[in-house]
Amino acid sequence: MGTGRRSLTTAALALACAVTVLATSGAAHASVTAPTPPPAPLPASTPQSLKELEEIREKLDELYHDAAVATDAYNAAEEKSERQSAEIVELAREIVEGRAKLERLKDRAGAAARAQYRTGGLPPEARLWLSDDPEAFLEGAGRVRQGEQATQGLLGELTRTQQDLEQYSADASAQWKQLEANRKAKAEAKKKVTKQIAAAQKLESQLEKDERERLAELEEEAARKAQTAWLGSGVLDDAKGQATTGGKKAVAFATAQTGKPYQWGAEGPKAYDCSGLTSQAWLAAGRTIPRTSQEQWRQLPRVDVEDMRPGDLIIYFDDASHVAMYIGDGAMVHSPRPGRTVTVAGAGSMPILGVVRPDK
């Protein structure tokens, strides 16, 4: 809280003290003068204090917006880490199986080499002349040729298996490096999230109860003005989109979470962040979508705002740092920010970047 508000509070206290002194003095001379009427109550907020609260509201919006951006970065790093961990596990399984296969191939190759050694290493022509049964030898020679071809195939398979193992190992090494990079990115994003939220909470904690209430009123007033202007633009005048079966399921899931707290990085069931709510709602409807609002905006099919239908996702702000689910009649459900709960609000109460459709 700035010095301007403290000055206002000090001035108000001084005025109240002065009024009390005057009232006491008037009571001492009640026999000769009429009692001094009680002073009129001071206005709840002066224009200057309202301006100050508006500046605080804007600062809080900025801090929570930056926290939302950092939360998206954290969620993206978390999603990548989980995917890479699964890929590393799969590579490890392939390496184990590849090594076992390689050992079996080596055993077979060794057996083939020993069989060839037992023939004495003589060329086929010499073995024919030395054979007591040339016809039986020729039949055996055919089997030998088949064996030689099989041996060549065996050696080729052994070589390919060895190459696969080398590639698996290289892929696993690369995934480990990327996993470590994403862990660092996740840790850095976590620091930013907690820093921004702590700054916002500290700013709010410096307000008196009546100031916090007035601040909440200012937030609601700003949302109402934005929603009124959005509806007044006629953007939904011709909207006739009907929810699909999947859309109805997603909306039912999302609206059933109202009242649950916002928690950054959360995907339920007790708390959600904005994209955690929308991704889980569509998962409940049988469709997997990207985890973060930015990836939802980047990967999902886009539709015009005037064509949106219940179940579509509304992406907010130029950096796609917030997402909500449209539920119809100009309303949406979302998990707003720390200190708030999942709630239904006007779809136009924040700057809309665009709309995406998970089941297009």
The residues of the chain that CATH labels 3.90.1720.10 are: 236-356
Crossing angle of helices 209-232 and 47-118, rounded to 10°: 80
Do residues 297 and 354 touch, judged by C-beta distance below 8 A?
A: yes
Do residues 258 and 341 touch, judged by C-beta distance below 8 A?
A: yes
DSSP class of 267: B
Counting as low any pLDDT under 50, the low residues of the chain are 1-48, 122, 125-126, 128-130, 137-138, 141, 146-147
The residues of the chain that CATH labels 1.10.287 are: 50-203
Do residues 346 and 223 touch, judged by C-beta distance below 8 A?
A: yes
pLDDT at site 38: 47
pLDDT at site 63: 77
Q: Which positions are annotated as active-site residues?
A: 274, 322, 334
Question: Cα 173–175–180 angle (5° rounding)?
Answer: 100
pLDDT at site 316: 96
pLDDT at site 233: 92
Q: What's the pTM?
A: 0.59
50-203: what CATH class?
mainly alpha
pLDDT at site 287: 95
**Hey, what's the torsion of the CAs at 126, 127, 129, 132, to 10 degrees?**
160
b/e map of 114-135 (b: 16 or more CB within 10 Å)?
A: eeeeeeeeeeeeeeeeeeeeee
Q: For 236-356, CATH number? A: 3.90.1720.10
pLDDT at site 258: 96
